[in-house]
Amino acid sequence: MRLLLISNSTNAGEAYLDYPKMEIKKFLGDDVKKILFIPYAAVTFSFDDYQKKVQERFSEIGYEVDSIHLYDHNKKKQALKDAEAIVVGGGNTFNLLKIMQQQDLLETIRYECLKGKPYVGWSAGSNVACPTICTTNDMPIVEPESFHATNLLRFQINPHYLDANPEGHAGETREQRLEEYLVANPYTYVVGLREGTMLKVDNAEVKLIGPRKARIFKFEEEPRELGPDDDFDFLFE
């Protein structure tokens, strides 16, 4: 299984997908020529526009972007099976999961990735690689059939993880919200994936890429800060 799970698409002041593009290139390599994109996290713009936006950046690293929304309903699963790599974009995680469930894509994605097909996701696309989407930051603007996702990982990711508690803000911090999740799900690790970073999964080997550390949460344990040189393999134990 080969996964590249990116916290965010865009760093402040940078172009869309600019910071992760070379890591995506390194991950996909030269054997992949065309990727199959899943644009269903888009809400305020069309799937056609999303494909075009991703194609503009992927052209710079040598890949053609096909999109699953262009296929008839009865041909989407075959498109996933035929794809050289699967790429899932960010946006609203609930919208993404709802459409993936409606089109019965989750098990096919899981099966293809467990066979070794490369998977790249950012933000919501990273969330749906987890067992559930329960650690997304997004508003539930639609109701999926359930919160269960592709279950490629044994742990949860919180993309865009923030340490900040803005002055004057009296609500819960991100850490407090994740602690709530852990009370209800005490056997699960959560990786707070800060912006500008990503996790690369090669079978059960997990590596952090980027300039910031990840914050690791587990019920009744002190959060841990782990960097690119640290061992993350315990997440699959």
C-alpha 197/C-alpha 7 separation (Å) is 6
* Cα distances (Å, whole numbers) of residue 51 to 25, 46, 57, 105, 235: 18, 9, 10, 19, 33
Give the closest residue to 161 by CA, choosing from 130, 131, 198, 186.
Answer: 198
**Strand, helix or coil for residue 2:** strand
In this structure, are residues 129 and 5 in contact, taking their beta carbons and an 8 Å threshold? Answer: yes
Residue 149's nearest CA partner among 3, 27, 18, 22 is 3
Write out the catalytic residue numbers. 123, 138, 160
- List CB contacts of 2: < 8 A, sequence separation 6 or more: 27, 113, 116, 117, 118, 119, 201, 202, 203
